[in-house]
Chains A and B, each alone.
Chain A
Amino acid sequence: MSTTTPAVAPKAVPPPSGLQERARKAKKKLTSPWASMIAVVIALAWTVPTFGLLVTSFRPELDIRQSGWWTVFGDALAGEGVFSLRNYEAALFSRSTSLIDFFVNSFVITLPAVFIPITIALLAAYGFAWIDFKGRDILFVAVFALQIVPIQITLIPLLRAYVDTGINGTFWPIWLSHSMFALPLAIFLLHNFMRDIPKSLVEAARVDGAGHVKIFFQVILPLLVPAIAAFAIFQFLWVWNDLLVALVMGGTDTFPLTVRVAELAGSRGGDWHVLSAGAFISILVPLIVFLALQRYFVRGLLAGSVKG
């Protein structure tokens, strides 16, 4: 992110290590007992509800209805059998199509639906940030404002177009729709990261005679890797957890995991003990992806050479 009020020090030059050491100490000071307490409170508040569901998903149906999940610890200590795999069995094996099919569909939907919009958005964001064309600002505001369009209003016109072209019920409309819906936010966020790249870097490349395509690939992209990874994770989560687009644009051969999980509640919605197990099965992949890409989250969103 760009800086405003504070004076900007020479960029691209790493500060002397002594300075950095002291700066680190300065930040350490924030880690007072109060700060630690705040951190623990927030972490607990954010985790306990999910943990409750995790415990619940291993409890027998009647127990879930009759006592709180926190009682299991006392009961378990007292030697009572409080856990059961029944919900997971029901979620995994009780249906006629195997879960693997749904995992494959989720995967097949997600990969292009992350890659395509991010690529298009990167190019557009570059255009809005670094190509000086007339009407650029108005166009950018328009793109950004499109974030407010609820995708529900687009379903009927889009589906009608897919039906007319004969591609409905396949993966193509799902990829296409996700790519369209992701663009406003993707362009908006990536544009912000892109503007933080020092003008001097771009100018220098231009003086060397590089065109926009070259600058984009050789100067901008390498710097944006962490930002792209970060946004890719968000986009991945949104697509992976999407139910609406999959349901409307897809067919029985393309339904992802979310469609299946939503159905675990049963025709009349009473089986949410099974749903709790399903929710955890479907969370596994996003969690793995997050942990795998987490290193991008613990540093700046622009690759190291730009700023502190």
Chain B
Amino acid sequence: MSIRMASKRRTVALAAAGASLALILSACADTDDGGGSGDGGGSDAAAPALDCSVYEEFGDLEGKTVSVYTTIVEPEAETQVASYEPFEECTGVTVEYEASREMEAQLPVRVQAGNPPDIAILPQPGLLNTLVSQYDAVLPAPEQVEANVDEFWSEEWKEYGTVDGTFYAAPLGSNVKSYVWYSPSMFEEAGYEVPETWDDMMALTEEIASTNEGATRPWCAGVESGDATGWPGTDWIEDVVLRTAGPEVYDQWYQHEIPFNDPQIVEAWDTAGEILKNPDHVNGGLGGVDSIATAPWTDAGYPILDRSCWMHRAANFYATQWPEGTEVAPDGDVYAFYLPSMSTDERPTLVAGEFIGAFTDRPEVQAFQTYLSSPDWANAKAAATPAGGWVSANNALDPELLATDFDRLSAEILADPATVARFDASDLMPSEVGTGSFWAGITEWFASDASSQEVTDTIEESWPKN
């Protein structure tokens, strides 16, 4: 929970060692969560030394506390907390870390009750938008933070943290969503190549489909996610819109300059439907088309492991969802390729990320904000995450510090000038659509025989007027 309990962590790790040798062995082998290291977290990894003088301008911060509220619960929380250590050592500030899976619902409650944290790690810009426009609660980013973002992030990323022309929230971690997971060995045995264009991919899909047997299908997918059911499906559609209609139309689409049911968008749904609504192409190991609606997204790629599914489109963070012991590597059990576009010279990529919102402006809070927006933090976080599954679009991030080949691939895509990155549209649309009718619509699209036109019409109707 809070940093104050950091000392307990060591005791717990020891207790765990006593209770289970196996646990500790696996912990040391693939997560190095501090079980073996002397001072917890990942500070034994090669984190570059932090230049403390940067924070001197904020004055003497010794003994001050900053509270952070996030959605990142344990075990991931541990690497997050560890990445704050260099800052704490430099300044003497204590960071109180609180995480909850209910954070997105709780934060507005706390804000309205006058009890916000100092800093919240916002999982998507939509929440920032709500907090600013509805409750006027987030403070504009201090100049040091803005300077960091101007220097180390692209213009687009700064824009996602901006509401009505004021820059509020620096980006933190980033996700690359345009990935297709597959089993390298399955592909090799069958003599399949990783497809380079959309047409190649569809040809491959047809080829695999001709060998369908039992529950095996070329693709598997699942969008069930509790009360957020539908979001993995919206990612699918957004990726296809980026490819069939292009980034410009994509921008017009989420800004509602064109209607949600514009013919180009409907076409994208239909293109996605060639895979997702075709019973010969889905849903490997999971059932028919309608099982996409009910299959938990966290498990939907698992049929690849028992060879009843060939391909599964999911974001880079799906790397951490695979069951324990699954090797994620170009020659391992599973790996991912970039979801191909129409031609090889364009690389539209769907991305997402977290943002740092501040609710108070005490010097220590601003110092911490500055730290989080700096490459120092990104590198400390990379060094503190030995199991991988984390990446940032911060252009000063040292790829060598990233834990896995796969994370380096993601960093490469983010840094590649040919990449045209676009943020997850459902996070940018008004919440009535982005976390409401779009989620509901895509789920309905899988669960029933509603056409792309009908579903997009319904979503368009729900777009808030005014």
Q: Which A residues contact B (CB, under 8 angstroms)?
A: 61-62, 65-66, 85, 89, 92-98, 155-156, 159-160, 162-164, 168, 247-248, 251-253, 255, 259, 262-263, 265-270
B89-129 residues at the A interface, CB under 8 angstroms? 96, 98-102, 106, 109-110, 112-115
User: Which listed residue, A255, A263, A268, touches B74 by the CB 8 Å rule?
Assistant: A263
Confirm or deny: B323 has a beta carbon within 8 angstroms of a beta carbon on chain A. Answer: yes
Asked whether, in the complex, the Cβ of A247 is within 8 Å of the Cβ of B306, the reply is no
- What residues of B have a CB within 8 angstroms of the CB of A266 in the complex? 73, 75-76
Using A66-B306, A94-B16, A265-B101 as known contacts, say yes or no to A270 and B113 having CB atoms under 8 A apart: no
| CA distance in complex: A247, B6 (Å) | 21
Q: Nearest chain-A residue to B11 (Cβ)? A: A98
Q: Which B residues contact A (CB, under 8 angstroms)?
A: 1-2, 5-6, 8-9, 11-12, 15-16, 19-20, 23, 71-78, 96, 98-102, 106, 109-110, 112-115, 225-226, 296, 298-299, 302, 305-306, 317, 320-321, 323-324
Using A89-B19, A97-B5, A269-B101 as known contacts, say yes or no to A159 and B113 having CB atoms under 8 A apart: yes
Q: Nearest chain-A residue to B98 (Cβ)? A: A252
Q: Please name 10 further chain A to chain B contacts, defined as beta carbons within 8 Å, in addition to the given A61-B323, A269-B101, sorted by A numbering.
A: A61-B324, A94-B74, A155-B109, A159-B113, A163-B113, A247-B100, A247-B102, A252-B2, A267-B71, A270-B321
Question: What is the CB-to-nearest-CB distance from A150 to chain B, in angstroms, rounded to a whole number?
Answer: 14
| CA distance in complex: A263, B71 (Å) | 10
The contact sample of 19 A-B pairs, CB cut-off 8 A, is A61-B323, A61-B324, A93-B12, A94-B74, A95-B12, A96-B77, A97-B5, A156-B113, A159-B113, A159-B115, A160-B112, A160-B115, A248-B106, A252-B2, A265-B101, A267-B71, A267-B72, A267-B77, A267-B101
Question: What is the CB-to-nearest-CB distance from B13 to chain A, in angstroms, rounded to a whole number?
Answer: 8
User: Which listed residue, A163, A248, A253, touches B114 by the CB 8 Å rule?
Assistant: A163
Asked whether, in the complex, the Cβ of A93 is within 8 Å of the Cβ of B73, the reply is no
Question: What is the CB-to-nearest-CB distance from B110 to chain A, in angstroms, rounded to a whole number?
Answer: 7
User: Which listed residue, A97, A265, A267, touches B12 by the CB 8 Å rule?
Assistant: A97
Asked whether, in the complex, the Cβ of A269 is within 8 Å of the Cβ of B226, the reply is yes
Q: Nearest chain-B residue to A265 (Cβ)? A: B101
Question: What is the CB-to-nearest-CB distance from B163 to chain A, in angstroms, rounded to a whole number?
Answer: 23
Asked whether, in the complex, the Cβ of A163 is within 8 Å of the Cβ of B115, the reply is yes
| CA distance in complex: A201, B64 (Å) | 65
Asked whether, in the complex, the Cβ of B321 is within 8 Å of the Cβ of A93, the reply is no
| CA distance in complex: A164, B115 (Å) | 9
- What residues of A have a CB within 8 angstroms of the CB of B12 in the complex? 93, 95-98
Using A61-B323, A89-B23, A267-B72 as known contacts, say yes or no to A168 and B115 having CB atoms under 8 A apart: yes
Question: What is the CB-to-nearest-CB distance from A250 to chain B, in angstroms, rounded to a whole number?
Answer: 10
- What residues of B have a CB within 8 angstroms of the CB of A160 in the complex? 112-115
- What residues of A have a CB within 8 angstroms of the CB of B225 in the complex? 269
Question: What is the CB-to-nearest-CB distance from A259 to chain B, in angstroms, rounded to a whole number?
Answer: 7
- What residues of B have a CB within 8 angstroms of the CB of A61 in the complex? 323-324
Question: What is the CB-to-nearest-CB distance from A90 to chain B, in angstroms, rounded to a whole number?
Answer: 8
Asked whether, in the complex, the Cβ of B112 is within 8 Å of the Cβ of A156, the reply is yes
User: Which listed residue, B15, B78, B98, B298, touches A268 by the CB 8 Å rule?
Assistant: B298
| CA distance in complex: A160, B115 (Å) | 8
Asked whether, in the complex, the Cβ of A96 is within 8 Å of the Cβ of B9, the reply is yes
- What residues of B have a CB within 8 angstroms of the CB of A94 in the complex? 16, 23, 74-75
- What residues of B have a CB within 8 angstroms of the CB of A269 in the complex? 101, 225-226, 298
- What residues of A have a CB within 8 angstroms of the CB of B100 in the complex? 247, 259, 263
| CA distance in complex: A209, B235 (Å) | 77
A-B complex: 9 closest residue pairs judged by Cβ atoms: A270-B298, A159-B113, A93-B16, A96-B9, A252-B1, A263-B73, A160-B113, A163-B115, A252-B2
Question: What is the CB-to-nearest-CB distance from A294 to chain B, in angstroms, rounded to a whole number?
Answer: 33
Asked whether, in the complex, the Cβ of B113 is within 8 Å of the Cβ of A65, the reply is no
